[in-house]
Structure 1
Amino acid sequence: MRGNYFIGLMSGTSTDGVDGVLAQLSDAITVRASASLPLPDALRRELLALNSPGHNELARAAQAANDLADCYAQAVASLLAQSSLTAADIHAIGAHGQTVRHVPEAGYTLQINAPARLAERTGIAVVADFRSRDVAAGGQGAPLVPAFHAARFGVGTDRVVLNLGGIANLTVLDSPVTGFDTGPANMLMDAWAHQHTGRAYDHDGAWAAQGRCDTILLDALLSEPWLALPPPKSTGRDLFNSDWLQTHLNALQTSPSPVDVQATLLQFSVKTIAQAIRQHAPDTREILACGGGALNPVLMQALALALPCRLTTTAEYGVPVQSVEALAFAWLAQAHVRGQPACLPAVTGARHATIAGCLYPA
C-alpha cells in the first residue's frame, strides 16, 4: 500500500495554525516528518468570524475553505520535502477542516474545508468530513481521536489521554474505550488574551500567572449546565464563546481586572478537567497530556496540583504533544481506506460504529 504512508492535517479550535505529520502506518506508527504553519491573520480572523452568523457568510465560507486548503497544501509540500518522498508515495491525506458549527443534537456539524481543491493541489487522495456519518447515526461526531489513542497508547492501561486544544477532551483507555469533551482548555483564555493584550494567546501562561482567581466568577462559570451532562458529549464555540463569558461577567456585582479574569479562566479549565476525571475515570493512574495547552507550564502545573494521579505528556511515549491530533488524522485516513470503523459508539453515543470520512480521489 504505497509504503503505508499517510499525511494528517489539523487546524484545531484554537485556529492558531496548521499542524501536519507524514507517517508510516504499519505494525508500528512512525512519524517521518512534521510541520506547523501559522494561519495568515486574515484567514484566522475570518474563520473565527464564521463561527457566528454574518453577512454573505456562504460566499465567505467558500473562500475561506479554499484559502485553508491552500494552507494545507503548503503543509503537505513541507512534509514531502522533509521526508524526500513524492505525492506518488502517499496513499491519502486526512484533512479535518475547521469546525464552525457543531450542534449534533440538531443533527448537524459543519467543517470548513475544500478537500477536492486539496487533492487537486497536491495530487494526493484526501479523506475529509470525518464527523457527519457518526452524527447521521445519532452520535456526537466527537471526539474523533479515541480510537487512534487506543491504537497508539494501548487499552486497559489505567491511562487517560488529555487533549488540551481549544476544547479539552479525554480518552479513557479502558475496555471499551470511552472519550468525551470536558469543556474549554485554551479557547476562552486565547480569546480573552487577544482581546486585552493583542496577542493570539497567553504565551507560557505568563499573563495568567500574574493574576488571581476570582472565586465568585469561577463558581458562576462552573454552574454551566452543560458541564453536568453525562457522556457522551461534545462542545465548542457554539456554547463556550466570548458572549458566554461576557454574560457571566455582566452578572457580577464587581468587575475583576482583565488579568484576574485570565487567571480565573485557567482555573476554570483545570477544575472542569479534574472534575471530569474524578467522576468518569476515577481509577486513572496516569494522564498523558497533548495539544498546545501541554506546552503551557502554568496550566500544566495547575493541572498537576488538581489531578489525583501522575501527569505527563505524550512526548514521554514518543509522540510530540503538537503532533498527536495531526497523527490521528493520518491514522483516520488509513482507517477509512481500509474500511475500518473508527467512530466508536461508546465514545459518540451513535447507534452503531461507522467508517469516518469521505474520499476525494487524486
Structure 2
Amino acid sequence: MVMEHYIGIMSGTSLDGIDAVLVATDGRRIELKGSASAPIASALRERLLALAGGDAITAKEWGELDVALGQAYAEVTLQLLASTGMSAEQVRAIGCHGQTVWHQPDAELPFSLQLGDGNRLAALSGITTVTDFRRKDMALGGQGAPLVPAFHQCVLSHPERLRILVNIGGIANISVLEPGRPVQGYDVGPGNMLMDAWCRRHTGATFDKDAALGRQGRVLPELLSRLLSEPWLGLPAPKSTGRELFNAAWLDARLNGDEAMADVQATLAEFTASAIAQQAQGFAAGELLVCGGGGHNPLLMARLHALLPGWRVATTSAAGVDMDAMEAMAFAWLAHQTLHHLPGNLPEATGARRPAVLGAIHFPD
C-alpha cells in the first residue's frame, strides 16, 4: 500500500495537554514525521475536570466545552502543519480521540463519551477528520477500550520475544504481545491520575515533576493494601475504567486522614507500579515497555524495575517508538484504518462481538 500522511491527536484522562503527531503510514509501516503539543487552558481544564468528576452542567455549557476543545485541537493541528512545512492538502485525515468525560462500559446503558467538535476541527484545519472511535465497539458489546493494542501489535510485536506494552497516562493499560498468541489488552488501574490529583491538591502543581514529592515519602503498607483491595482490580479482562471510579473521592475514602503528604504520594506511585507488575508476573520474564507520561516518572520506573526482576524494563523509545508520541500515533493509524474500511478494534482486547471499522468521518467542505 502507498504511504499516506495522517495526523493523530490525543488528550488523555490526565488532562495534562494536547499532543499531535504527523505520521506517514500504509497501515503496516508507520514513520513519525513531526509532533506538536500544547497545554489545555487552565479554565477549560478545570471545567473538564469538574465534568469528569460528575458535576452537573447545562446543555449550554456542554456545547461550549465541545466547541472549545474542537478549537483547541485545530490550533495544535495548525501549529503542527507550520512546524513540519506540510499543507492541509498533503494530509489524508486527522484521527482525533477527543476528551473523555464519562466512560461506563458495564452499565445497563453502556457508553463512552468524548468531547471535541470534529466538524469544527475539520473546517478549521481543512482536513478530513475521524472522531468517535469508541462507540461502534461498544455497540457490538465491547468495552470501547483500550483501542491501542491493535496499533501496538502493528508496530512493536516481536516474532520470538514476549513484550508487554504499558501506556501510563491517567489510566494504565497494557497490551500483551506474546509470539504465536492472540493479543491481550486491558486497563489495569490508575496510572498518573491519583498521583496528579494528590499533587495538585497539596502543591498546586498539575503533576509531581521528576517525582520530587513522591521520592521524599515512604510507602505506607496499610494504605497500599487498602488501595490494592479494590474489587475492580480483580475483575477478568476485557475491562476498562476511568475517572468515574478512580478519583479523589475514591482515594479519600481509603485514607485515615493523618498521613503525611509525601508518604501518600509515594504510596500512590507504588500502587500504580504494583497493579502493573501483578499483571506482568503472570508471564515468563520478557520486556516491559512503557509509554505515556508515566515513563518520565523516575520513582515509578524504578519501582517497576524492582518489582519485576529478570524483566527488561524500558520505554518504547528504546524499542524505536517515541513514548510521548505513541498514543497520538495510534489514533493517526486508526484514522487510516477507518478511511481504508479496515477494522480498528481487537475483540480479544475490548470484548466486542467482531472486528469493526471505527469512527465518524467529518469532511472539511
**Contact 1:290–1:324 (CA under 8 A) maintained in structure 2:** yes
Q: Give SS of 1:343's match.
A: coil
Question: What amino acid sits opposite 1:318 in the alignment?
Answer: G
**Contact 2:68–2:116 (CA under 8 A) maintained in structure 1:** no
**Larger CA deviation: 306-315 vs 328-337:** 306-315
Q: Give SS of 2:143's match.
A: coil
Q: Which residue of 1 aligns with 2:317?
A: 315
Question: What amino acid sits opposite 2:91 in the alignment?
Answer: I
Q: Which residue of 2 aligns with 1:162?
A: 166
Q: CA deviation at 1:278?
A: 1.5
For structure 1, the 5+ residue unaligned runs are: none
Q: Give SS of 1:65's match.
A: helix
Cα distance per residue 1:54-77 (max 9 Å; x no partner): 343432222112111111111111
Q: Which residue of 1 aligns with 2:243?
A: 237
**Structure 2: distance between partners of 1:62 and 1:287:** 41
Question: What amino acid sits opposite 2:176 in the alignment?
Answer: V
Cα distance per residue 1:5-63 (max 9 Å; x no partner): 00000000110100110001125311111011111101111111111333434322221
1:361 is aligned to 2:363: yes
Q: Which residue of 2 aligns with 1:269?
A: 272
Q: Which residue of 1 aligns with 2:284?
A: 283
Q: Give SS of 1:340's match.
A: coil
Q: CA deviation at 1:116?
A: 0.6
1:347 is aligned to 2:349: yes
Q: Give SS of 1:240's match.
A: coil
For structure 2, the 5+ residue unaligned runs are: none
**Larger CA deviation: 259-268 vs 52-61:** 52-61
Q: Give SS of 2:52's match.
A: coil
Q: Which residue of 2 aligns with 1:293?
A: 294
Q: Give SS of 2:304's match.
A: helix
Question: What amino acid sits opposite 1:21 in the alignment?
Answer: V
Q: Which residue of 2 aligns with 1:6?
A: 6
Q: CA deviation at 1:113?
A: 1.6
**Structure 2: distance between partners of 1:284 and 1:341:** 31
**Structure 1: distance between partners of 2:64 and 2:53:** 16
Q: Give SS of 1:50's match.
A: helix
Q: Give SS of 1:54's match.
A: coil
Query: Which ranges of 4 or more aligned residues in structure 1 deviate by more than 6 Å?
Result: none
Which of 128, 139, 142 is residue 142 of structure 2 equivalent to? 139
Q: Which residue of 2 aligns with 1:120?
A: 123
Equivalent residues, number? 357
Q: CA deviation at 1:277?
A: 1.4
Which of 255, 259, 265 is residue 258 of structure 2 equivalent to? 255
Q: CA deviation at 1:305?
A: 0.6
Q: Which residue of 2 aligns with 1:329?
A: 331
Question: What amino acid sits opposite 1:82 in the alignment?
Answer: S
Q: Which residue of 1 aligns with 2:84?
A: 83
Instruction: Give RMSD over aligned pairs.
Output: 1.4
**Structure 1: distance between partners of 2:230 and 2:289:** 26
Q: Give SS of 1:248's match.
A: coil
Identify, as 1 or 2, the structure richer in helix. Answer: 1
TM-score w.r.t. the length of structure 2 is 0.95
**Contact 2:53–2:243 (CA under 8 A) maintained in structure 1:** no
**1:5–1:87 Cα change, 3 Å:** same
TM-score w.r.t. the length of structure 1 is 0.96
Cα distance per residue 1:322-344 (max 9 Å; x no partner): 10000000000000111111111
Question: What amino acid sits opposite 1:274 in the alignment?
Answer: A
Q: Give SS of 1:312's match.
A: strand
